[in-house]
Amino acid sequence: MAFVAGVFGSMLGVGGGIIMVPMLSLAFGVPIKVAIATSIVCVIATSSMAQTTFVSRGMTNVRLGMLLEVATSVGAVAGGITAVLIDGRVLQFCFVAVLVYIAWQMNRRGGDVAPARTGVLEARYYDAATGHDVEYDVRRTRLGFVLSLGAGNVSGLLGVGGGAFKVPIMNLLMGVPLKATIATSNLMIGVTAATGAAIFYGRGYMDPYYAVPAALGILAGARLGPRLAVRLSARALGIIFQVVLLVFAVLMILRGLGLGL
């Protein structure tokens, strides 16, 4: 199971905590906090392993990732403050609505974004699926930064990695091609997850009985995922991503109804 999670997580730039947590707690009867701790370790493993492939292929925009990490990590730390202000149910409903909206937008767009020239954070990578170099610049950096604050905040609140938001923000809004987006999001989720994991370790929720096999399985899976992501067409990746978003939405609805989580 961890192997499969590793393949998908690393292929799509999402941590997959939202799938791992209910699976561990429902199918294996793992206590919820331990399940979250295990899932966070898996996100780190996914991120680290996948980056060794993505970075060497020049797919990751390191500077863009670092810039948005400021927003997502500040947002995540501020999550506790927002939790007092907004009701959990309202938040979950918004989460579902946004996921469905994003999937619909990505579907409407059909293909990948057209690269634009703005002179900001310009980068290029080789697309193995088309055999061409892709050059792109980053658009709407400020708006992307502000929305990343929100994404970090929500992920801190709901205990999900937030890759599901980071990918659309970079792809749809900032005009970063999907493959570079996935690689960059994958780099970013490691930062938030490592902070969370350190906290869970300190509080004693880390259970080697689950975390060790899961981490090893993920590491193996995350070697395969990026290779698939590099080869698949952006269109195919986009469709897989939309399906995963809708699965996330369904899981979050179940969670809101008190089933599972």
Partner 1 sequence: MEPVERVIRWILLCGIAVSVALLAAGLVIGVARGAGLPRGVVPLAEIPRALAAFRPAAYLSLGLIVLIGTPFVRVAGSLVMFVRERDGRYVLVTAIVLLVMCLGVLLGKV
- Is residue 242 involved in binding partner 1 (CB under 8 A)? no
201 binds partner 1 (CB under 8 A): yes
Contact range with partner 1 by CB under 8 A, out of 16-24, 70-78, 110-118, 248-256:
70-78
Rounded Cα distance between 184 and 35, Å, is 26
Residue 78 burial by CB count (10 A; 0-12/13-18/19+): exposed, middle or buried?
Answer: middle
CB-nearer residue toward partner 1: 102 or 188? 188
Nearest in space to 15 (alpha carbons), one of 47, 38, 37 = 47
Q: Extract the tokens encoding 203.
A: 């509080």
Q: Does residue 194 interact with partner 1 by CB under 8 A?
A: yes
Shortest spacing between CB 41 and partner 1, in angstroms:
6
In the complex, minimum distance from the CB of residue 236 to partner 1, in angstroms, rounded to a whole number: 26
Which tokens is 212 given?
Answer: 């060790």
Q: Of the listed pieces 37-45, 107-115, 165-173, 224-232, which binds partner 1 according to CB under 8 A? A: 37-45
C-beta of residue 146 within 8 angstroms of C-beta of residue 71: yes
Q: How many residues bind partner 1 (CB under 8 A)?
A: 45
Q: Distances in Å between the alpha carbon of 164 and those of 52, 115, 151, 242, 255?
A: 21, 22, 9, 10, 17
Contact segment (CB under 8 A) with partner 1 among 13-21, 58-66, 166-174, 232-240 equals 58-66
Q: Does residue 120 belong to the site contacting partner 1 (CB under 8 A)?
A: no
Query: Quick check: 76 and 159 in contact, CB under 8 A?
Result: no
Choosing from 204, 235, 236, 254, the residue that interacts with partner 1 (CB under 8 A) is 204
Q: How far is the CB of 117 from partner 1 (least distance, A)?
A: 21
- 23 contacts partner 1 (rule: CB under 8 A): no
Q: Report if residue 229 touches partner 1, rule: CB under 8 A.
A: no
User: C-beta of 210: minimal distance to partner 1 in Å?
Assistant: 9
* Rounded least distance, CB 58 to partner 1, Å: 7
Separation CA 52–CA 103 (nearest Å): 29
Q: Where are the alpha helices (DSSP H) in the chain?
A: 2-12, 17-27, 32-56, 62-77, 79-85, 88-109, 141-158, 163-168, 178-202, 208-231, 234-256
Q: Does 137 bind partner 1 (CB under 8 A)?
A: no
Per-residue CA distances from 33 to 70, 141, 182, 196, 233 (Å): 26, 36, 28, 12, 38
Q: Does 174 bind partner 1 (CB under 8 A)?
A: no
| Smallest distance, partner 1 to C-beta of residue 200, A | 8
CA distance 233 to 130: 7
Chain residues binding partner 1 by CB under 8 A are: 41, 44-45, 47-49, 51-52, 55-56, 58, 60, 62-63, 66-67, 69-70, 73-74, 76-77, 190-191, 193-199, 201-204, 206-209, 211-213, 215-216, 219
